Structure formats: C-alpha cells, structure tokens
Amino acid sequence: GENVEQHPSTLSVQEGDSAVIKCTYSDSASNYFPWYKQELGKRPQLIIDIRSNVGEKKDQRIAVTLNKTAKHFSLHITETQPEDSAVYFCAACLTSGTYKYIFGTGTRLKVLA
Amino acid sequence: DADVTQTPRNRITKTGKRIMLECSQTKGHDRMYWYRQDPGLGLRLIYYSFDVKDINKGEISDGYSVSRQAQAKFSLSLESAIPNQTALYFCATSDNRRGETQYFGPGTRLLVL
C-alpha cells in the first residue's frame, strides 16, 4: 500500500541553526502535503502545507519544498528556537476521488540552547 | 483547539470489553476522522466520515467501528478490546469548503490490559 517515509527520526540542532526534515511518498497521485507539529502531550497542529501545483512555500522561519518528480518534500526551519522542539509529522494526501491522508512516522526535533 | 473535544481523556479497560470513545466538535465542520498514534508509527487513519450518511474505512479499520450520530458527533467503538489496541486516539475535523487542514482533538489515551 501507499506509504510516507520520513527522515530523520530524531534531530538535534543548536539554537539558531537550521533544521531540515525530509519525506518521500509513494502515491504519485498525492496532491496535498501538510506538516504538523506536536508538542509533548499536546495535539498535532498544522504549521504549513503545500499543494502539488506549487514548488515552494514560506511562512516566516518555516518553508516547505516539493519535488513531484522525485516524490520528495521537505520542511525547513531557520533560526531555530527552543520552542521549535517538538515532533513533526509530514503527510501525503489525495483529496479527490479515493481520499487518502497518510502520515509519516514523525521526527523528534530538539533545539539545544 | 477547544472546539474539538474527546471523552474520555484516559481509559483503562480489560481484554474483551466493549469501549466507546466519543468526539464532539463545535466548529461546524462536515468532515470527521479517527486516528490512532503509536510510538514510531505516526498517525494512522482508522475511519473517516464526510457527512452524517457517509462512513469510510481508513488504513486500519479492523477491530473498530464508528457511528456518526450527528454532524457534530463521531464515535469510535472497540467491540472487543485487545491489548494491541493500546494507543493514543485522536479525533480530527476538517471543513470541505476551506481546504484540507485537519483540527485535532486533545486525544484519548487507552490502555487495554
């Protein structure tokens, strides 16, 4: 079946450095790619998303890039801060026809002060 | 997001017992979802419902059933609980008119002994 691979599973960076999390999806029909942040003991919350007709999207210190040919998409966080420490999940979704919303296995990001 | 609530928040039950997890939302969203979260496996979709008369199986529906009692309520049942159903369960909602962002409830932590 379809799956989403997410790497790395854990990532430690120094405060102020950049962090990159990568995901690869298998279903070429996927057309929507959200990223969720889950702080310890909390619910997942959307931080940024991108649709298949766009290659890159930025929101302040966060950006997402999409390479449809390679079926890769990545989350980039610049100038990391301690409050960025959380688990981040990517998802690859098919929002038309047979609905699919498949999450990656998560990346635990630790920002060291 | 206080607009999506789940009850109970924690539950301990025994193998073979029937248990129901409830989800309510005041966001007016038409779509509702049930996920389970396991360490290292991310979030996996159990069932989803696009309106009151629409119920669909997700990736891992075996051993679960759902009921969409009203637009605002979506319940998940375990007819005969087993230990490998021990997990954190999240309900989520989305608004078909406003894109694919999913809004998660606070989660229900279930332990099956």
b/e sequence A8-39, b meaning 16+ C-beta within 10 Å: eeebebeeeeebbbbbbbebeebbbbbbbbbe
- The tens place of each residue's pLDDT in chain A, 113 residues long, gives 778 999 999 999 999 999 999 999 999 999 999 999 999 999 999 999 999 888 999 999 999 999 999 999 999 999 999 999 999 999 999 887 777 889 999 999 999 98
Measured between beta carbons, which residues in chain A are less than 8 angstroms from residue B9? Answer: none
Question: Which residue in the set B42, B48, B101 is minimally distant from A106, CB to CB?
Answer: B42
Q: Which amino acid is at B56?
A: N
User: Residue B8 has what pLDDT?
Assistant: 97
A4-7 vs A56-59, strand pairing mode: unpaired
User: Residue A96 has what pLDDT?
Assistant: 77
Report the phi/psi class of residue A9: left, alpha or beta, with left for phi > 0 and alpha for psi in -120 to 50.
alpha
User: Residue B97 has what pLDDT?
Assistant: 74
Positions in chain B whose pLDDT score sits under 70 = 1-2, 98
User: Residue A99 has what pLDDT?
Assistant: 79
Look up residue B80 and give its DSSP letter: S
Count Cβ atoms within 10 A of the Cβ of residue A93 and give its class: 0-12 exposed, 13-18 middle, 19 or more buried: buried
Q: Are A87 and A106 in contact (CB under 8 A)?
A: yes
- CB count, 10 Å around CB of B85? 18
**Cα dihedral sign, A40-A44-A47-A53:** positive
Measured between beta carbons, which residues in chain A are less than 8 angstroms from residue B102? Answer: 34, 46, 101
User: Residue B39 has what pLDDT?
Assistant: 85
Check CB contact under 8 Å for A102 and B45: yes
How many A/B residue pairs have CB atoms within 8 Å? 46
